[in-house]
Structure 1
């Protein structure tokens, strides 16, 4: 009986352990490849969102520049118009 248990133990070590390690190693490699692909997909998605945010930010900056220009340019023109109104006497229209 002891001889059979020794043979069984020997068989488990010589055959079973390499089979288990081979299957486990292959599964681990597949899992690692899957994780790498998921990380690549996440990186691509993150890069795309970053590009969209950058484009949106650029559009907003352009709009702010236009608004600043309108406010500052119109402010100078408006100030000049106010000063011209102060300098000219009001017209009094006479009935004909």
Structure 2
């Protein structure tokens, strides 16, 4: 090998080593952040490594699905109540007073 080529290689080696080190450090940091925040890890070909399916995970998904359904039902009830409140607030005062009097007459 000629001395000129050797000098070029010796000049590029620190740059290549730095680039490889930065890439590896970035990969390690990305993997750590994914683990820390609960994202699933991927294998070399994109297949999921974590989380694995087990009985505990399936049961947890069922519980979360039930809770989601309950919260949706509660949200629907709250929307209905809010519509009634908005209707009462936006109606004219005259209509509101007639409705209140009608309710009083019904109670008596």
Q: Report TM bin, short chain.
A: 0.3 to 0.5
Of structures 1 and 2, the larger Rg is shown by 1
Larger proportion of helix: 1
Q: TM-score, normalised by structure 1?
A: 0.41
For CA contacts below 8 A with separation 6 or more, give which structure has more relative contact order.
2
